[in-house]
Amino acid sequence: MFGLFNKEKREDAYSTMTVQQEISRSRSDELFEQAKKCFPGGVNSPVRAFKSVEGVPLFIKKGEGCHIWDEDDNQFIDFCCSWGPLILGHNHQAIRESIIEAVSLGTTFGAPTRLENELAELIRKHNPHVEKLRFVSSGTEAVMSAIRLARGFTGRDKILKFEGCYHGHADSLLVKAGSGLVTFGETTSAGVPEAFARETIVAPLNNMEAVKQAFKDHPDEIAAVIIEGIPANNGLLIQEAGYMQELRECCTQHNALLILDEVITGFRLGMDGAAGYYDIRPDLVTYGKVIGGGMPVGCYGGSAEVMGKISPDGPVYQAGTLSGNPVAMAAGIAQLKVLQGNNFYKNLNSKAEEFAASIERFADARNYPLKIQSVGSLFWFAFAAPSPIRAAAEIDPASMGFFKIFHRELLNRGVYLGPSGYEVGFVSAAHSKVELEKAKRAIFEALEITFKKQ
């Protein structure tokens, strides 16, 4: 009945409808023209360029709670949440006050501070597999450092990753990655030497036989297997517990390290992240986003034995001028203290799950080809999906045509999603039931238009 997205048919159907008035983007348009003179594509991160949706990117002026306002004073219920860090919403009082207090004492010292110890202890307290850790300034830096450590610890060179999993923009991991690369229809990046790519083995998700075959084909060569806690940069590809546990066993059997990239899932699914969700113990874990309370931060950690290879204790070198930045540490401490309160995740996750379930019920009642894949407070609109999607190859690129219309209609109704159909959405503690009901009504209307006459 629905088939693939047909641009000509959709445009004809759309032109016959009375739609919500387009939001004004005049000020954003002016700023974007100025930005294009300064930055490649007019942006400082590719997906922000709105290439896969319509119109110019919105320039955001402020955020409060679950809302953001752009430079044209349009107000939106925000489900991007800065791509995940803002689990408490925008401009949370405790985080804001902690940042101000930290800044009043100085912004950076290039020397140890008490705040590094405090945030590290909060992380270690809830994650027993993290005996020691090292702070860095981004998730990409955390993963890059963990990969180097895995190679230094094992004395092996090859890394096994999964198709569609995104681990930042380090050279060796931009091979069949997700995030902005998929948005722009690419699976590798120019500028990555073939020699680097040859050290990266790529396997499909949800296929244990492919992993076993890789170890068979490369005996004693694979230093580590790296996987997102729950792949969330190329759709929300929720893996089954048995698969993740077998992956852990396979790494142990072949003396390879298991690196769990929890940059998104860490402290988002719960205080113990995806490791707790799947009941597995990774050898190394990477964090970012939530642990910084909205400030730039990342960290990697693992057993004392493995982390003992990091300089100055061991031969694997890694350093950073702004690592453990006191302002970022203060923001992270404030956020994690709130998160460890009684029933925080129970309340957040139940609210998010009901939000996602109610949208799927609406779509099912109308026979729309839409699945809402969700876990905890993450969700993803999977258009033209006949069943749950667990691997990147199962996503039909043509389905992104649905998202393009859907995204425009949501903006016109005051709801902001990340500008790519491959990216996930986030519910925060600041999303009240009232605001979620408003968002649902907007989503229902947008879906009606998206699927009109299909």
Torsion of CA 406, 408, 410, 415, to 10 degrees: 130
What's residue 205's pLDDT? 95
DSSP code, position 141:
H
What's residue 179's pLDDT? 47
Torsion of CA 152, 306, 121, 226, to 10 degrees: 70
d(CA 32, CA 43) in angstroms, rounded, equals: 8
Q: What do you get for the CA distance between the two ends of the chain, in Å?
A: 7
Amino acid in the structure at residue 91: N
Asked if residue 317 lies in contact with residue 104, where contact means CB atoms within 8 angstroms, the answer is: no
Geometric angle at alpha carbon 228, from 319 and 384, rounded to 5°: 140
Query: Considering 158, 289, 309, 404, which one is annotated as catalytic?
Result: 289
Strand partners, 203: 162
Mapped onto helix, strand or coil, the DSSP state of residue 283 is coil
Mapped onto helix, strand or coil, the DSSP state of residue 247 is helix
Upper half-sphere CA count for residue 113 (Cβ side, 13 Å): 20
What's residue 170's pLDDT? 73
What's residue 387's pLDDT? 85
* Residue 309 annotated among the catalytic residues of the structure: no
| Domains located in the chain, CATH noted | 7-83+345-450 (3.90.1150.10), 93-339 (3.40.640.10)
What's residue 385's pLDDT? 80
**Count of CB atoms situated within 10 Å of the CB of 369:** 18
From first to last of its 454 residues, the chain has per-residue pLDDT tens of 344 445 444 444 444 444 678 999 999 999 999 999 999 999 999 999 999 999 999 999 999 999 999 999 999 999 999 999 999 999 999 999 999 999 999 999 999 999 999 999 999 999 999 999 999 999 999 999 999 999 999 999 999 999 989 888 776 676 655 444 433 334 466 777 777 778 889 999 999 999 999 999 999 999 999 999 999 999 999 999 999 999 999 999 999 999 999 999 999 999 999 999 999 999 999 999 999 999 999 999 999 999 999 999 999 999 999 999 999 999 999 999 999 999 999 999 999 999 999 999 999 999 999 999 999 999 999 998 888 999 999 999 999 999 999 999 999 999 999 999 999 999 999 999 999 999 999 999 999 999 984 5
What's residue 171's pLDDT? 62
**Per-residue tokens: 264:** 């998104």
Query: Considering 70, 158, 161, 166, which one is annotated as catalytic?
Result: 166
424-438 in b/e form (b: 16+ CB < 10 A) is bbbbbbbbeeebbee
Amino acid in the structure at residue 423: E
Task: List Cα–Cα distances, 232 to 188, 263, 313, in angstroms.
Answer: 18, 10, 34
Q: Which of 291, 344, 305, 268 is nearest to 129 (CA)?
A: 305
The strand ranges marked E within 188-340 are 200-203, 222-228, 257-262, 284-288, 298-302
**Per-residue tokens: 66:** 């679950």
What's residue 164's pLDDT? 86
Longest Cα pair distance anywhere in the chain, in angstroms? 68
* Residue 261 annotated among the catalytic residues of the structure: yes
Mapped onto helix, strand or coil, the DSSP state of residue 316 is strand
137-169 in b/e form (b: 16+ CB < 10 A) is bbbbbbbbbbbbbbbbbbebebbbbbbbbbbbb
Q: Residue 159 is inside which H or E element, if any? A: strand 158-162
Amino acid in the structure at residue 96: R
Asked if residue 405 lies in contact with residue 10, where contact means CB atoms within 8 angstroms, the answer is: yes
What's residue 228's pLDDT? 97
What's residue 198's pLDDT? 80
What's residue 342's pLDDT? 92
What's residue 112's pLDDT? 97
* Residue 317 annotated among the catalytic residues of the structure: no
DSSP code, position 23:
P
Kindly give, in sequence order, each residue whose CB lies less than 8 Å from that of residue 339, ignoring residues fewer than 6 positions away: 87, 88, 267, 271, 290, 345
Asked if residue 331 lies in contact with residue 295, where contact means CB atoms within 8 angstroms, the answer is: yes
Task: List Cα–Cα distances, 351 to 193, 347, 354, 357, 432, in angstroms.
Answer: 46, 6, 5, 10, 9
What's residue 54's pLDDT? 93
d(CA 161, CA 259) in angstroms, rounded, equals: 10
Task: List Cα–Cα distances, 9 to 3, 12, 385, in angstroms.
Answer: 12, 5, 20
d(CA 438, CA 435) in angstroms, rounded, equals: 5
What's residue 151's pLDDT? 97
